[in-house]
Amino acid sequence: MRDSGCFKVFTKPGLTTSTLLVAWNQDVGKVGTKVADYLNRKLGCQEFAEIEPLGFFPLSGVSVEDDIAQFPESKFYYSQEKALVVFKSDIPPSEWYRFLRSILDIAEHYCAVEELYIVGGMVSPGAHTTPRALLSVTNSPQIKEMLGQYGLVTNMHYETPDGQRPTLSSFLLWVAKKRGISGASLWVPVPFYLTGVEDPRAWKKVIQFFDTRLALGLDLTDLDDEIARQSAKIAQMRSKLPELDSYISRLESNLSLTAEESEKLAKEVEEFLKKTY
Amino acid sequence: MGMKLFKEPELNSPTLVACWPGIGNIGIIAVDTLRRMVGAEELGEIEPWEFFYPRKVLIESGELKDLVFPVNKFYFKKAEGKDLLFFLGEEQPTDRGGIYAEGTKAYRMANLVLEVALKFGCSKVYTSGAAVAPIHHTARSRVWAVPNSENLIEEIRSYENTVLMSDIEGRGGQGNITGLNGLLLGVARKRGVAAICLMGEIPIYLHGFPISYPKGSQSVLEVLGAALGITVDLHEINALVEQSEREIESVYARLPSEIREQLDRLKYVTHAKPAEPGPITEEDKKRILQEIDKLFKKEPGVE
């Protein structure tokens, strides 16, 4: 085991080239985590390294979520066969640059990473039945051109509004650019009323892209089943609760809801889906 | 840790005037006004990414064009016998996300700033900040000065409108200077470099609000000018003071008359050492701050 102080490497993957996928646990609709978990499971990825929490996370105790004590994790997994490296992590509250540099140090040094993708969800005002686009922000014209060939949206304009800060994904993309690693952050819209639960349509959109791009040969029928199950539950809810049905119908017709209506819809959908899972 | 110098001028024992933002932006307005007034040129900058989270991302047509970080720049001015170095930081680096510098990053930055200054032969450092005081906004702000060695006290005593901590009622020469404007004094002391922090007074009832207080900066600027032997043109800062007074007066006029009357009592604070408790009690202070807070919340345009 190699220990460089802030990270531990348990096994050297011995990859001569690879693609790195980064997912943050604190993500809209947990899209990144779900995608990372799905690929790790389906491809049988092995854990091979981790960044130590000391120095990046406060470690002043543990938080409790859904009855379970949580602890920050920043772990690397790899699939030798598919030349894929997956990094799944909590977002550190400080020392961001050192943390991002550590990710790329491991990825470059032990896995010869040549391409980077950071996966995330973005809150959407649309309905869950609206077809999903996959939006990208790239750090080089070459990768932008390549992603365009996969049907991704590659023409986004954005400037951080006053009072807000960029995402850690943008920071990582920028650090990667400084090191000459091509990369993109991928953003899939998640309907606002599904951000507190799950949105398998969003995961599928991202996973489909990786399946094609990296020739993973995945069988996605389990995802289709998941989507069908959720659709059936929401349809059941719509038939039982006509008011919520009318809200979703309006969203499907590109009409907006008031703040109170949106809040009610999100609350009731979340309660309904959690109850029936 | 990166430092980028654009030029390597030959400087003759320059004085460093350094500042980071703080309460009422008092120090940063004073130092930046002086920097522009003397026409200081850019010298270099600290690479910010190890210290700060980015402020802004610019994405054009799907491509990440830039990340904007807080700027931390050095400037210099060659002048007969009194070369100057300036350092202005847009944000204070923190380890735990507060407004004021603290922890490892702050210490590293203070050392880095001093190292650059010493590389150019710096012999003295001035920093600047704010002193929260029980004064009225119509009063002239005094400057509280804190040196990092005893032999600077005589110099401070020679400045007009300036007090030491021991001159201030109830302090007994004690106090704290929060953030890098204070930390740099300590780091300079550790390295045997003379340093003084000049803090312009801001009324106690304004310090917690998101407004600049150029009146405090004006007093600091006057003292800095005297300390550095520079004739200071006050036109620009006077205009800022007038504008700020108009804004403060408009908020003041809308305060409940009871609160205004209490604040008016601060007009009679003479800075003499009173034997009785101060003109406003802690309870009064709490109520006053709540009332002013309400007004600022109603008026998002006031900055």
Query: pLDDT per residue over B41-82, tens digit each?
Result: 999 999 999 999 999 999 999 999 999 999 999 999 998 778
Which residues partner with B147 through β-bridges?
A: B196
The DSSP secondary structure of chain A, one letter per residue, reads -EE-SSEEESS----SSEEEEEEESS-GGGHHHHHHHHHHHHHT-EEEEEE-SBTTB--SS-EEETTEEE---EEEEEETTTTEEEEEEPPPSS-HHHHHHHHHHHHHHHH-EEEEEEEEEEEESS-TTSPPP-EEEESSHHHHHHHHTTT-B----EEPPTT----HHHHHHHHHHHTT-EEEEEEEEEEGGGTTS--HHHHHHHHHHHHHHTT-----HHHHHHHHHHHHHHHHHHHH-HHHHHHHHHHHTT----HHHHHHHHHHHHHHHHHH-
Question: Which residue type is seen at A106?
Answer: I
Residue B102 pLDDT grade (very low, low, confident, very high; cuts 50, 70, 90) = low
pLDDT digits (tens, 9 = 90+) for A69-117: 888 999 999 999 999 999 999 999 989 999 999 999 999 999 999 999 9
- Contact at CB, B64 and A98, closer than 8 angstroms: no
Q: Do B67 and A140 touch (CB under 8 A)?
A: no
Q: Which of A2-6, B229-233, B274-278 has the highest mean pLDDT?
A: B229-233
* Among the partner residues B61, B64, B96, nearest to A170 by beta-carbon distance: B64
Contact B53 A159 (CB under 8 A): no
Which long-range CB contacts under 8 A does A243-248 form with residues at least 24 apart? A244/A268, A244/A269, A248/A127, A248/A128, A248/A129
Average pLDDT over residues B151-173: 86
**Both A237 and A174 in a single domain?**
no
Question: Quick check: A2 pLDDT over 80?
Answer: no
- Report whether pLDDT(A253) > 90: yes
CA distance B92 to chain A (A): 14
Domain membership of residue B35 as a residue range: 3-234
CA distance linking residue A88 with residue A106, whole number of Å:
13
Radius of gyration of chain B (CA): 20
Of B49, B62, B97, the CB nearest to A97: B49
Give the count of domains, chain B: 1
Residue B40, both tokens: 């200081």
Q: Which tens digits make up the pLDDT trace of A53-78? A: 988 998 878 778 777 888 899 999 99
Lowest mean pLDDT among A30-34, A164-168, B296-300: B296-300
Q: Are residues A162 and A42 in the same domain?
A: yes
Q: Which domain holds residue A253?
A: 224-276
- pLDDT over threshold 70, residue B274: no
Domain harbouring A79, CATH code: 3.40.50.10900
The DSSP symbol for B142 reads P
The total domain count for chain A is: 2
A203 and A262 co-located in one domain: no
What are the tens digits of pLDDT across the range B168-224?
766 676 777 888 888 999 999 999 999 999 999 999 888 878 889 999 999 999 999
Contact: B59, A158; criterion CB under 8 Å:
yes
Q: B60 contacts in A (CB within 8 Å)?
A: 157
Domain match, A263 and A167 both: no
Per-residue pLDDT, averaged over A124-147, amounts to 95
Q: Across the interface, which of B55, B59, B97 has its CB nearest the CB of A156?
A: B59
Which chain B residues contact residue A137 at CB under 8 A? 59, 62-64
Is any Cβ of chain B less than 8 angstroms from the Cβ of A170? yes
Q: Is B56 an 8 Å CB contact of chain A?
A: yes
Would you state the pLDDT for residue A233?
94
